[in-house]
Amino acid sequence: MTGAPARPLEQRILAQAYALGFDLAGIARLGPPDTLAFYDAWLDAGHHGTMTYMARTRDLRADSTRPEAGMQTAVVVGMNYGGTQPAGPVARYARGADYHRVLWDRLDALGDAVRAESGTAARTRGYVDTGPILERDLARRAGLGWFGKNTMLISPGLGSFFFLGVLVTELALAPSDPFDADRCGTCTRCLEACPTEAFTGPRVLDARRCIAYLTIEHRGEFTAEEAAMVGGHVFGCDVCQDVCPWNMKFARDAREPAFAPRTEFTAPDLEALLALDEPQWRALTVGTALQRPKRAGILRNVLIALANRGDRAAVPAVTRALDDPEPLVRAEAARCLARLGVAPPA
């Protein structure tokens, strides 16, 4: 009696990805992205704002075989971070541990699994939105989902509240079937819900008007228009995902314990954040994505949010921020008091 035939290598690798805790997995061949012309036009229009690294690595992003010589295939994975939590000043993806470290460690383990399953010493390298590749393009080609009108990758049965990771390898693996369907139909809820009108059309985002960009990537002071656009947000924005019917129906809690939301980020006390000095801030945010804008950037956002909601009860906390060691925080505190109708002390 003979045993069951061995499964193809690709199936075994994808099974290992799911065993490592990824919620989605597929395979794509590397090469020029399908969306290259769109990406070039997006850069030429200046929609990337001050994210100069996106233009600086333009040539590398034009072909996913360029960043790492000899690589042929990508194993693309997705990990749900939970879209069922209540909305708040901090985007859902940042309320737990920093996803970069979590996904990098899993991708390293997946690379070990690729070598074990293939019986080779094949090279691999993991990317988690910090390398010069277009992850969403590879994810669609790997069959993980389609591009929503809000530019997010949407997966049937999961929605869009998930992180993407890419493991490139020199193995020539058979690709998965691409996701060619557009399941947004005539729906435009995400475009209509954006409070800053950041979408110039379906699947075209002007980052310069996006709250996520403003609160995370933008450095320095805001113009009056930018400050108004931020609203009550402190780090990121989920509005265009919140209204998506696919998320309303399929979003679910994260299985990964590292992504469990922390109370201090789910419903943050903005006045308490203003009182944190640098060591206290580092202790609070260590190992989280909130460290990217640094303390001064977050406190700038906090002060703008307090001013935008007209919170006069915060005047004592804002007044104390006038003595902050960071010039950006002191300047924003003065503007916040003025917007709250309070003259700053001499």
Structure token digits, residue 63? 């072909």
Q: Are 52 and 162 in contact (CB under 8 A)?
A: no
3-state DSSP call for residue 257? helix
Q: Are 196 and 206 in contact (CB under 8 A)?
A: no
Q: Catalytic site residue 23?
A: no
Q: For tokens 């003065």, what's the residue?
A: 334
Catalytic: which of 23, 59, 63, 129? Answer: 129
- Give the DSSP per-residue string, 39-86: HHHHHHTTTTTT-HHHHHTHHHHT-TTSSSTT--EEEEEEEE--S-SP
Instruction: Supply the DSSP symbol for 205.
Output: E
For residue 124, how many other CB atoms are within 10 A of its CB?
21
Q: Are 73 and 29 in contact (CB under 8 A)?
A: yes
For residue 131, how many other CB atoms are within 10 A of its CB?
17
Q: Are 77 and 110 in contact (CB under 8 A)?
A: yes
Chain-centre distance of CA 80, in angstroms? 12
* Helix ranges (DSSP H) in 179-244: 189-193, 211-212, 224-230, 239-242
Say how many residues make up the chain. Answer: 346
Structure token digits, residue 97? 């541990």
226's CB contacts (< 8 A; 6+ apart) are 214, 218
Structure token digits, residue 102? 């979590």
Q: CA angle, corner 61, sides to 241 and 34, nearest 5?
A: 65
Q: CA angle, corner 103, sides to 146 and 174, nearest 5?
A: 55
Residues tagged active-site: 129
